[in-house]
Amino acid sequence: MSTAPSRPLHILIVEDDVASRTLLVSYFRKEGYRISESGRADDLVQRVEREQIDLILLDINLPGKDGLTLTRELRAASRVGIILVTSKGDEIDRIVGLELGADDYVTKPFNPRELLVRAKNLLWRVADSRVAGQQTAANGVWRFNGWTLDSHRRHLTGPIGQFERLPQGEYKLLHALITRPGQVLSRDQLMDAIHDREWTPNDRSIDVLVGRLRRKLDDDPSAPELILTAHGAGYLFAGVVEAGHG
């Protein structure tokens, strides 16, 4: 199974309120993380790549580019972890943020200990996903919960030896989900992953493909354990993903 990298994990705190930002910087530094901070983040995409940032705590209401715009730009260019920091009245913004690719959110006022737990969980998922992705890029094999997906041949093999070559749409959808374990992917993101054609918002093909994959993975639709529905947001893969050697 993949392991986290040895370098200190790097968190960027983007918050224009100086008191809140100072509190978060102090709290996370005491936990041993490498911390950077900013009051605005118009150059966020470039910083993530240049400074090897693993997680961003991103306030939605920022001067210049707002947090939702930044989330969209980040997710198009990077798999960095994103936790949105929102106000109580920002429920619609929170939903939109998840649809755009944010991993999680916290609402002000928040408990720093709860935020730390959320950050730790997300950092491990990001680190493991990154290492697994680097390994799998070479061998093209994914393993999860007793199943094996051969990316070169689109072969899905089950725990008791059942075997199937997945159709292109099902393969692309499953690949999109297992390469981002624990991350809510909106229907928009999944449609972009599986289609090379124009599509309309009322297109239900994602739901149909999810249903087919659940049946093939013996994932009970009434109580799924692998492909979970994030109501109002999309789907996420909850299995334990490993890079294999094929």
Mark whether 109 and 27 lie in a shared domain: yes
Q: Tell whether omega for the bond before 109 is within 30 degrees of 0, i.e. cis.
A: yes
Which of 19-56 are b and which e, b meaning 16 or more Cβ less than 10 Å from the residue's Cβ?
A: ebbeebbebbeeeebbbebbeebeebbebbeeeebbbb
pLDDT the model gives residue 243: 58
Q: What is the pLDDT of residue 220?
A: 92
Residue type, 15: E
Query: Residue 39 has what DSSP assignment?
Result: S
DSSP, collapsed to helix, strand or coil, labels residue 178 as: helix
Residue 50 lies in a domain: yes
| pLDDT tens column, 143-160 | 899 999 988 888 999 998
Listed residues 101, 129, 157: the one ending a domain: 129
The whole-number pLDDT of residue 198 equals 47
Supply the range of the domain harboring residue 89: 10-129
Tokens of 170: 């099902």
pLDDT for the residue 8: 72
In this structure, the answer to whether residues 85 and 157 fall within a common structural domain is no
**Tally of domains in the chain:** 2
Strands 34-38 and 10-14: parallel
Residues 167 and 75 in one domain: no
- Give the C-alpha separation, 79 to 60, whole Å: 19
What per-residue confidence (pLDDT) applies to 127? 62
pLDDT (tens digit per residue) in 33-55: 899 998 877 788 888 888 888 89
Q: Which of 129, 151, 182 is a domain's end point?
A: 129
- Spell out the per-residue pLDDT of the chain, length 246, in tens: 344 444 678 899 999 889 888 989 998 998 888 999 988 777 888 888 888 888 999 998 888 888 888 888 888 788 788 998 887 666 788 888 888 888 888 888 888 888 888 888 788 766 655 555 554 444 678 889 999 998 888 899 999 888 889 988 899 899 989 988 888 888 878 887 776 444 555 567 888 899 999 999 999 988 999 999 988 888 999 998 875 544
Question: How far is residue 31's CA from residue 91's CA, in Å, rounded to a whole number?
Answer: 30
Q: Is residue 212 part of a domain?
A: yes
Sign for the CA dihedral angle at 212, 217, 220, 224 comes to negative
* CATH number of the domain residue 68 falls in: 3.40.50.2300
Contact 206, 190 (CB under 8 A): yes
> pTM of this prediction?
0.54
58: nearest Cα among 111, 14, 91: 14
Angle at the Cα of 82 from the Cα atoms of 122 and 171, rounded to 5 degrees: 75
Please indicate, yes or no, if residue 2 is contained in any of the structural domains: no
- Residues 113, 152, single domain; the answer is no
Residue 165's CB is within 10 A of a number of other CB atoms, namely: 11
Residues 116 and 164 grouped into a single domain: no
Q: For residue 159, is it within any domain?
A: yes
CATH number at residue 156: 1.10.10.10
How far is CA 2 from each of CA 40, 133, 152, 242, rounded to the nearest angstrom?
34, 10, 21, 6
